[in-house]
Amino acid sequence: HMACDYGRYACVQMLLDNGVDANDRLTDESKSTSAMLASQNGHVGILALLVARNADLNLADSFGCTAAHWASRYGHLLVLQLIIKSSADLSKTDTNGQTTLDWARTYKQPQCFDLLLSTGAPGTDLTPLPQVTESSKEALVNAAKPPPTSPLTPVAKKNLLLSSNWPTSSLHKPL
């Protein structure tokens, strides 16, 4: 499973060649399959290999999510296209009743949402999502930047360096 998670194609191929089942599940509480992990991380080549080795893309984890849910959640369009071409059931719902289309909407993945909508995938809200434009990408990047800091004035630097301005405790006594 780690090989699928980290995109190690050769390792996945070797494991499958040596008898590991493409539908094996993690033993943790998620019960994820290798296909789900590849879908979460956008590893389309690994997912194609798993599909070629009969991975069942309709299996759900302990949250009711399929590989399609995870690809939609993280906006992995090529992975989602492969899942759709592999005839996965896009009507499956998670434990909260949310479809793959609902996940694309919830996690604001307009390309995945549009692709799913174009295939007739069911969902609770079919209102199109706004497309991400270059200006909206720039606005998101700028919003994530920390605010500029003002340089310290010479007086502020001097005050900062004075030991009397530093808090003391029983563990840290001034020299």
pLDDT (tens digit, 9 = 90+) per residue, 101-127?
999 999 999 999 999 999 999 887 777
- Beta carbons of 101 and 90 less than 8 angstroms apart: yes
Note the pLDDT tens digit of each residue in 122-150.
887 777 666 655 554 555 455 445 545 54
CA–CA gap between residue 138 and residue 134 (Å, rounded) = 6
pLDDT of residue 129: 67
pLDDT tens readout for residues 21-66: 999 887 788 899 999 999 999 999 999 999 999 999 999 999 999 9
Q: Is the dihedral of CA 88, 90, 93, 94 positive or negative?
A: positive
CA–CA gap between residue 100 and residue 105 (Å, rounded): 9
pLDDT digits (tens, 9 = 90+) for 3-13: 887 888 889 89
**Rounded mean pLDDT of 89-95?**
95
pLDDT reported for residue 48 = 95
Give the separation between CA 42 and CA 123, rounded to whole angstroms: 23
8 Å CB contact between 1 and 13:
no
Residue 102 has a pLDDT of 93
Query: Is the distance from CB of 84 to CB of 72 less than 8 angstroms?
Result: no
The residue ranking higher by pLDDT, 157 or 35, is 35
Task: Tell whether the model's pLDDT for residue 169 goes beyond 50.
Answer: no
Q: Distance (Å, rounded) from C-alpha 60 to C-alpha 69? A: 9
Distance of alpha carbon 39 from its chain centroid, rounded? 9
- Greater confidence, 59 or 171? 59
